[in-house]
């Protein structure tokens, strides 16, 4: 028996076929276009995403004509509006990157009691990153949508809900706890859509999907006749939580760092819901009707810094050169990059800060600048994790790094050396869809003890930490420069 799992991400749909031992057999991928409106809003064509999925499943079915089940993961926070009778979209998806809800968020943020209520029920801060403010914007600005939504003719859902509803021919209106938790409308303690949260955003009670744990059955589909019979959809989760689960971060202190354009850090804090000033409290997964939570840090700047070196400064020709050139010097020559391209994120939270190189002198060359940029990515991660240890008395047990920057060994070694803990790197590229598959296997095999999933652990490369006084000195100087120029 082979397994199939897919990822409906921000940029593409990826389908991976695994063999019985969960080795990758074949990978299929198709990108979808990014839609930027004149106002600067970000949207996706939901019909294109659906059609891409069906096209890929048609190819997959030639290899695996009779899978036992199919699992999937998806971009979080992005929301959809679709026709109740047909399942077809009535407008483009509003993507998580879209900022159209900013003014609505500012209004709520000005009301401290309302902001506190939202944080205490969702673990998240009031931000247009999440779905609620943008849903409110659509209701306010698109009258035809508002009326049909309130009448029940149009349904709201995160991306997983839309895909399941359409794949099951409008039979299943469902989501999972990880996706629901990113809307700002879902109570992450009681696991329910919360009327007080609707009221906070002045949204009338509209239809919302049934919420299930990720390791559940979500309906059946033949994927528009791609398969000769209906296949169960088993195992669904938002991408960051799916990756967290795939890396078996089941114990408090287990930490997963996903690197891409930005980075996402999640640290397991167990089953107790606590809020933190420098992090989001995220519903990581639900097991045996009990929620496990993580502290989550998001940054838009990681691989984006490397792209900036390449595309804007033209200091490197490819991403790989960021490592090659950095290794040509033993340190940065006293140069530091403060990568505040969109402000400084946690633990500083200085939105008005701007990026700058400091410490340049007559002997500085491009290798120093490139190394300073690479160090700055590691420093952002380390300073946040250090704040967790200091402010929350949280011990970091395991550090796992996945995503695009795992090819940069120097970057990984920097993290290990600074934290003085070994860093583990999985060899599978698509950890999010692997995590969705593990949720499916958990349901299919009726696994009640999380430790039983350890047999499905992905092979990892381990980097031991080394004593690196030059790097430690550069890090301490970087923090002092931030304090001097941006904090004091």
| Each residue's pLDDT tens digit, 206-227 | 899 999 999 999 999 999 999 9
Residue 353: predicted pLDDT: 85
The string of pLDDT tens digits covering residues 451-479 is: 999 999 999 999 999 999 999 999 999 99
* CATH number of the domain located at residue range(s) 248-488 in this protein: 3.30.420.40
Predicted TM-score of the model (pTM): 0.90
- For position 404, what pLDDT does the model report? 82
Q: How far apart are alpha carbons 158 and 291 in whole angstroms?
A: 20
pLDDT band at 106 (very low <50, low <70, confident <90, very high): very high
* Burial (CB count within 10 angstroms: exposed 0-12, middle 13-18, buried 19+), residue 264: buried
pLDDT at site 39? 84
H or E segment to which residue 414 belongs: helix 409-419
Which residues have C-beta within 8 Å of that of residue 285, sequence separation ≥ 6? 177, 178, 213, 214, 237, 241, 244, 245, 291, 292, 439
279 pLDDT more than 90: no
Res. 27: pLDDT tops 70: yes
**In b/e form, how buried is each residue of 180-189, taking b as 16+ CB within 10 angstroms?**
bbbbbbbbbe
The answer on pLDDT for 49 being more than 80 is yes
Query: Rounded distance, CA 5 to CA 17, Å?
Result: 7
Average pLDDT, whole number, for the chain?
93
Q: Are 169 and 101 in contact (CB under 8 A)?
A: no
**Judging by DSSP bridges, how do beta strands 154-158 and 35-36 pair with one another?**
unpaired
Instruction: Label the pairing between strands 3-8 and 70-74.
Output: parallel
Whether the predicted pLDDT of 157 surpasses 80: yes
* DSSP symbols for 80-106: EEEETTT--BSS-EE-TT--TTHHHHH
User: Does residue 314 carry a pLDDT above 90?
Assistant: yes
**Per-residue pLDDT reduced to its tens digit, 376-408:** 999 999 999 998 888 677 888 889 999 888 999
Rounded to whole angstroms, the Cα distance separating 392 from 269 reads 10
Starting from the edge strand earliest in sequence, which strands make up the sheet with 217-221, in order? 24-31, 12-18, 3-8, 70-74, 231-238, 217-221
Q: Do domains 3-212 and 248-488 have the same CATH topology?
A: yes
Write out the DSSP string of 285-308. EEETTEEEEEEEEEES-SHHHHHH
% of residues, the chain, pLDDT over 70: 99
Domain boundaries defined on the chain: 3-212, 248-488
Q: Residue 332 — pLDDT band, cuts 50, 70, 90?
A: very high
For the segment 247-271, what is each residue's pLDDT rounded down to a tens digit? Answer: 999 999 999 999 887 888 999 999 9
How far is residue 454's CA from residue 293's CA, in Å, rounded to a whole number?
A: 19
488 pLDDT exceeds 80? no
- In the predicted structure, residue 1 carries a pLDDT above the cut 70: no
Query: Which CATH superfamily hosts domain 3-212?
Result: ATPase, nucleotide binding domain (3.30.420.40)
Region label for 290, one of left (φ > 0), alpha (ψ between -120 and 50) or beta (otherwise):
beta
Q: Report d(CA 388, CA 295) in Å as an integer.
A: 9
Mean pLDDT of 275-283: 86
pLDDT given for residue 296 in this prediction: 92
Kindly state the tokens that stand for 191. Answer: 């696991």
Whole-angstrom distance, CA of residue 188 vs CA of residue 172: 22
Non-local CB neighbours of 121 within 8 Å, separated by 6+ positions: 187, 188, 189, 194, 196, 197
Tokens of residue 82, six digits: 């679709």
With beta carbons less than 8 A apart as the criterion, state whether 265 and 381 touch: yes
The lowest-confidence range among 16-30, 334-348, 460-474 is 334-348
pLDDT digits (tens, 9 = 90+) for 416-431: 999 999 999 999 889 9
Please enumerate in sequence order all residues whose Cβ is within 8 A of that of 296, keeping only pairs 6 or more positions apart, or say none.
240, 264, 265, 266, 267, 279, 280, 281, 282
Alpha carbon distance 161, 89 (integer Å): 12
Tokens 């629901």 correspond to 180
Closest CA to 8 of 130, 223, 176, 162: 162
**Is residue 278 pLDDT above 80, yes or no?**
no
């Amino acid at each position: 028996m082979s397994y199939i799992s897919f990822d409906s991400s921000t940029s593409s749909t990826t389908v991976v076929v695994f063999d019985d031992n969960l080795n990758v057999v074949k990978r299929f991928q198709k990108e979808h276009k990014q839609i930027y409106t004149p106002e600067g809003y970000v949207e996706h064509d939901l019909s294109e995403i659906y059609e891409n999925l069906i096209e890929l499943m048609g190819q997959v079915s030639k290899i695996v004509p009779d899978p036992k089940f199919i699992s999937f993961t998806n971009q979080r926070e992005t929301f959809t509006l679709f026709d109740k009778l047909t399942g077809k979209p009535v407008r483009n998806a509003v993507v998580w990157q879209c900022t159209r809800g900013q003014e609505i968020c500012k209004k709520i943020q000005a009301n401290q009691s309302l902001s506190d209520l939202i944080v205490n029920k969702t673990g998240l801060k009031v931000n247009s990153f999440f779905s609620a403010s943008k849903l409110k914007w659509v209701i306010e600005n698109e009258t035809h949508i508002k009326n049909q939504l309130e009448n029940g003719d149009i349904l709201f859902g995160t991306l997983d809900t839309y895909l399941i509803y359409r794949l099951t021919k409008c039979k299943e209106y469902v989501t999972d706890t990880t996706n629901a938790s990113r809307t700002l409308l879902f109570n992450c303690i009681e696991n329910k859509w919360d009327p007080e949260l609707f009221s906070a955003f002045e949204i009338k009670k509209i239809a919302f999907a049934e919420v299930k744990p990720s390791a559940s059955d979500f309906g059946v589909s033949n994927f528009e006749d791609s398969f000769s019979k209906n296949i169960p959809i088993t195992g669904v989760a938002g991408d960051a939580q799916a990756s967290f689960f795939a890396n078996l971060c089941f114990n408090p202190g287990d930490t997963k760092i996903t690197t891409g354009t930005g980075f996402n850090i999640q640290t397991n804090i167990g089953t107790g819901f606590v809020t933190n000033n420098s992090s989001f409290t995220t519903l990581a997964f639900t097991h045996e009707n009990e929620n496990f939570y993580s502290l989550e840090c998001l940054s838009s700047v990681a691989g984006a810094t490397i792209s900036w070196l390449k595309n804007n400064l033209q200091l490197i020709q490819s991403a790989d050169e960021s490592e090659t050139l950095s290794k040509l010097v033993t340190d940065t020559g006293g140069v530091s990059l403060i990568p505040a391209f969109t402000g400084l994120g946690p633990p500083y939270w200085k939105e008005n800060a701007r990026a700058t190189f400091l410490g340049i002198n007559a002997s500085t060359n491009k290798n120093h600048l490139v190394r300073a940029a690479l160090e700055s990515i590691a420093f952002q991660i380390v300073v946040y994790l250090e704040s967790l240890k200091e402010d929350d008395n949280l011990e970091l047990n395991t550090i796992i790094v996945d995503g695009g920057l795992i090819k940069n060994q120097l970057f990984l070694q920097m993290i290990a050396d600074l934290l003085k803990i070994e860093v583990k790197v999985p060899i599978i590229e698509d950890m999010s869809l692997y995590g969705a598959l593990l949720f499916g296997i958990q349901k299919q095999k009726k696994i009640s003890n999380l430790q039983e999933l350890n047999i499905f652990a992905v092979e990892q490369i381990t980097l031991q930490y080394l004593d690196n006084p030059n790097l430690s000195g550069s890090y301490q100087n970087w923090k002092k420069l931030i304090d001097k120029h941006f904090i004091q």
